[in-house]
Amino acid sequence: MRLEGKVAIITGGASGIGHATVQKFIREGAKVLVADIDLERAEKVVAEVEADGHAGSAAAAQVDVSVYSQVEAVVQRAVDVFGKLDVIFNNAGIAGGKPLLEHDPAVDYEPMIRVDQDGVYYGILAAGRQFRKQGTGGVIISTSSIYGEQAAELAFTYSAAKAAVISFTRSAAYELAEYGIRAVAITPGRVGTPIINQFSEELRSTFASEQLRNKLTEPSEIADVVAFLASDEANVINGTVVHVDDGYSVF
């Protein structure tokens, strides 16, 4: 098992990519704090893990990643429950967008920057401090997007936040290497989660056609890559972007 003995926090762990990653990490032997703004769904994920025969391997915590004190508290919670922290997957996010000139900054800019950008910064900061304190090193994986590397329709704010995630990852790898900390960003393409499933069948099929296998990516396929990146087998992958977009970026 790739993650035997590791302790991880997965933000946005109650749904979609985060949920699939909780399941994968548990199968790979990790202990996981399922951290989400939706505590009820996070608790359901933990109950599912327990029903699968892994009682004691997962715990739920409520966190709004856009509030630093809450992110710090969730890092402390992982340490209190499981004794230490080895991995943080900064994955919680919100999507959506309008044409730029129709923006109300208070609605269409600030909230998304707070969750998708500040939330990742806070996760890097709080986990980085914990890793330094432990003296054990650690791994920081953060979810960007294909939109973090390109201009995209109706995604002015989202793209900016996701580009920041890539920049944070490079700088974190550079600055934190002396503490044995690694940082990697992933850029999913079109993944079949509630963010995408809210759209019409027609739009979902257009999204699928933008990827080389002509299908939406399964959340579990992203989770497989994240588990590898979190493991010691990926020790040479640092400060970079791993494209998990089924070839979207070749177009």
Which residues partner with 187 through β-bridges? 243
Q: In the bound complex, what is the minimum distance in angstroms from residue 243's beta carbon to ligand NAD?
A: 11
Out of 49, 74, 115, 139, the residue judged to bind ligand NAD by CB under 6 A? 115
Distance CA 248, CA 226 (A): 18
Nearer residue to ligand NAD within complex by CB, 135 or 200: 200
User: Which tokens sit at 121?
Assistant: 């910064």
DSSP label at residue 217: B
12 binds ligand NAD (CB under 6 A): yes
Q: Number of residues interacting with ligand NAD: please give it, by CB under 6 A.
A: 29
**Residues 120 to 149 in contact with ligand NAD, rule: CB under 6 A:** 143, 145
93 binds ligand NAD (CB under 6 A): yes
User: Which tokens sit at 138?
Assistant: 């650690």
Q: Is 122 a catalytic site residue?
A: no
User: Considering only CA atoms, which of 81, 38, 80, 75 is closest in space to residue 56?
Assistant: 81
Out of 92, 172, 208, 223, the residue judged to bind ligand NAD by CB under 6 A? 92
Residue 7 φ/ψ, nearest 5 degrees = -115, 130
Q: In the bound complex, what is the minimum distance in angstroms from residue 38's beta carbon to ligand NAD?
A: 4
**Residues 166 to 195 in contact with ligand NAD, rule: CB under 6 A:** 188, 190-191, 193-195
Between helix 219-230 and helix 16-27 the angle, nearest 10°, is: 50
DSSP label at residue 218: P
Nearer residue to ligand NAD within complex by CB, 31 or 190: 190
Kindly report the length of the chain: 251
Q: Considering only the stretches 10-18, 100-108, 173-181, 223-231, report the one whose residues sit in contact with ligand NAD under the rule CB under 6 A.
A: 10-18
DSSP label at residue 239: S
Out of 95, 181, 208, 241, the residue judged to bind ligand NAD by CB under 6 A? 95
Pair type for strands 138-143 and 240-244 = unpaired
Which positions are annotated as active-site residues? 158
